[in-house]
Amino acid sequence: MSDNVDYDLIVIGAGGAGLAGAIWAAEAGCKVIILEAEDRIGGSTALSDGVFNAADTSLQRKLGFTDSIDEYYDYYMTLNAWRQPAALIRTFCDEATPTLEWLIGLGVKYPEFVAKKPKQTIVSGSVDGGGLYAAGVEWPPRGHCPAEGGSVYIDVMENRRAVLGVELVLNTRVQQLIVEDGAVGGVIVDGETLRSRAVLLACGGISQSTPEMIKTWFPDAYDALPPGYHPTGPASPGHRGDGVHMARQAGADIIGHNCGLAVGGAFLPYAPPIHHGNPPSSLIYVNAKGQRFAPETAPYAVMPGLVKHQGFNCWGVFDEAARKRSDSSGSGYAFGWDPQFILDCVERGDILQADTIEELAIKCGMRPGALRTTIEELNEDIVTGEDRWFLREIEALHPIAEGPFYAFQYRNTGFTVASVGPRIDRAAHALDEDGRIIPGFYAAGEAGAGVLGERYVGGGNAVANALTMGRVAGMTIGRELKGK
């Protein structure tokens, strides 16, 4: 590669991964420019709750928890059935903790208390007010949630970027790499050629890409929905799949089939496209047979897999008393459906209504006797105080007994994370289809595939991946280009 370059490093994307990578390369003495397609920095990291998943941290120790990187690694690999590359996951687990401590050093603060998610039906969120909490099915808790949300990471890193003098250009969408003799040596953008010794791909995943790309790489998102419907998600608009296209230009090995996080919820296709609140707490989720298949308070990271196991055919069932109790005046997790909204959904056909449980079961295609048994057992368990099947905490629940009865389809309606891109090694080098390092090419975050698997390990998996692997990429580039 020619020494006649404009920059040591060009970073494509100014989200969590891109900023972290740019900063760490600049700390090693690299001349860096960040090219961001949107009119603002932050990407999906800024839109997130900010949960950072890590083990053996100063906050855990301060709150009396003993944890270890070994346990975190075993948990991560076991949850993903050892399908993820072990060396890469070990590096992620090793480096997540110093990345979090680095962010604390930059000014990020985590409330110093143990938080708990409310005893509410599944909601794709963290905890109100932040803190340390169990973000998946792990213990001790590893979800580190700042009160301000994910934007706090962007704020502190932006401050550091400015101090280091890293250039930043907004409204500049990169779609073409310079590839010469098998090496990546810069980009072509808006007709201008920018040459560099390294390029870091950090432009997000495929959540906002074309239906064809999503069907190819995250088919579960479409398999979960009726024909004619498209998955939705809150990812940054920059997640257009540009990283996949550019990685192909460099001959990279593209991986990430169904890797990420699907989002489940009430499927209300005729309702206005805004958040109407959360379903009633005193409901049950049942499968096509009319049987419960999970605790209704299961972690949101776990529920999509359970729904898939049921053939994406699941229902939420509640009664008239729950409809009347539903309260839209609250905030956060207490923000419930308006009782009239439920009736409007019945009128539109989004929610089914019947005078008896058996009639409701028939409308949903379930076995009437099975749904009746399921509801009777739950009502009995509410009296005894113990959920006989799934050990859900039920002291605040009410029986499902007052007609009419209601049912809505519970589906995986979209996804928030879809990590598709070049396969990377433990140092964030992008690899070609023969498994060789592509000189000058690195990837991190959702654009660098391998860390996120088919099983999301809990809240903060994606944020920790972006910030940690961005930092790893920056350290690698600094070491290889500057010997630091």
pLDDT tens digit sequence for 457-469: 888 999 999 999 9
Looking at residue 166, what is its pLDDT?
A: 98
Looking at residue 1, what is its pLDDT?
A: 47
Is the pLDDT score of 74 beyond 50? yes
Q: Give me the mean pLDDT over the 83-92 stretch.
A: 97
d(Cα 95, Cα 16) in Å, to the nearest integer? Answer: 15
Is the pLDDT score of 424 beyond 50? yes
Looking at residue 126, what is its pLDDT?
A: 60
128 & 272 share domain: no
- The number of folded domains in the chain is 2
Looking at residue 128, what is its pLDDT?
A: 73
What proportion of the chain, given as a percentage, has pLDDT over 70?
96
* Average predicted confidence (pLDDT) for the chain: 93
pLDDT band at 137 (very low <50, low <70, confident <90, very high): confident
Q: Are strands 183-189 and 176-180 parallel, antiparallel or unpaired?
A: antiparallel
Is the pLDDT score of 413 beyond 60? yes
Take residue 77 and report the two structure tokens written for it. 């690999």
290 & 370 share domain: yes
Looking at residue 53, what is its pLDDT?
A: 96
272 & 175 share domain: no
154 is a domain residue = yes
Sorted by sequence, the CB contacts under 8 Å of residue 402 that are 6+ apart come out as 319, 320, 321
pLDDT band at 370 (very low <50, low <70, confident <90, very high): very high
| Domain finish residue from 377, 399, 414 | 414
Residue 137: CATH number of its domain:
3.50.50.60
Looking at residue 443, what is its pLDDT?
A: 98
Instruction: Please give the residue that has the higher pLDDT: either 313 or 281.
Output: 313
Looking at residue 414, what is its pLDDT?
A: 84
As a whole number of angstroms, the longest Cα–Cα distance in the chain is 78
Residue 267: CATH number of its domain:
3.90.700.10
393 & 460 share domain: no
- Nearest residue to 86 (alpha-carbon basis) of 426, 434, 419: 426
pLDDT band at 118 (very low <50, low <70, confident <90, very high): low
Question: Among the listed ranges 48-57, 97-106, 409-418, which one has the minimum average pLDDT value?
Answer: 409-418
Is the pLDDT score of 183 beyond 90? yes
Looking at residue 232, what is its pLDDT?
A: 78
153 & 14 share domain: yes
Is the pLDDT score of 374 beyond 60? yes
CB-CB contact of 394 with 381 (8 Å): yes
378 & 457 share domain: no
451 & 404 share domain: no
Looking at residue 278, what is its pLDDT?
A: 86
**Residue type at 48?**
S
Q: Give me the mean pLDDT over the 290-300 stretch.
A: 89
42 & 172 share domain: yes
Domain around 343: 263-414
CB-CB contact of 194 with 33 (8 Å): yes
Burial of 227 (0-12, 13-18, 19+ CB in 10 A): exposed
CB-CB contact of 411 with 313 (8 Å): no
336 is a domain residue = yes
Looking at residue 234, what is its pLDDT?
A: 76
CB-CB contact of 95 with 426 (8 Å): no
224 is a domain residue = no
Quote the crossing angle between the two packed helices 151-164 and 86-106, to the nearest 10°.
80
Sorted by sequence, the CB contacts under 8 Å of residue 146 that are 6+ apart come out as 50, 108, 109, 110, 111, 130, 152, 153
Q: Give me the mean pLDDT over the 182-207 stretch.
A: 96
Question: Among the listed ranges 39-53, 109-123, 169-183, 443-457, which one has the minimum average pLDDT value?
Answer: 109-123
89 & 50 share domain: yes
pLDDT band at 9 (very low <50, low <70, confident <90, very high): very high
Looking at residue 347, what is its pLDDT?
A: 97
403 is a domain residue = yes
345 & 449 share domain: no
314 & 346 share domain: yes
Calculate ∠ Cα 188-193-197, nearest 5°: 90
Conformational region of residue 385, where left means phi above 0, alpha means psi within -120 to 50, and beta covers everything else: left
Calculate ∠ Cα 239-243-2, nearest 5°: 140
Q: Model confidence over 314-327: pLDDT tens digits?
A: 999 999 999 999 98
Give the other-Cβ count within 10 Å of 388's Cβ: 10
Is the pLDDT score of 289 beyond 90? yes
344 & 474 share domain: no
226 is a domain residue = no
Q: What is the pTM of this model?
A: 0.91
Is the pLDDT score of 125 beyond 60? no
CB-CB contact of 484 with 478 (8 Å): yes
C-alpha pair distances (Å), 113 with each of 61, 65, 109: 12, 12, 12
159 is a domain residue = yes
Is the pLDDT score of 121 beyond 70? no
235 is a domain residue = no
Q: Give me the mean pLDDT over the 381-387 stretch.
A: 95
| Domain finish residue from 414, 436, 467 | 414
Question: Among the listed ranges 162-166, 204-208, 269-273, 299-303, which one has the minimum average pLDDT value?
Answer: 299-303
Instruction: Please give the residue that has the higher pLDDT: either 235 or 447.
Output: 447
| Domain finish residue from 394, 414, 434 | 414
Question: Among the listed ranges 95-104, 110-119, 434-443, which one has the minimum average pLDDT value?
Answer: 110-119
447 is a domain residue = yes
Is the pLDDT score of 354 beyond 80? yes
d(Cα 109, Cα 161) in Å, to the nearest integer? Answer: 19
**Residue type at 188?**
I
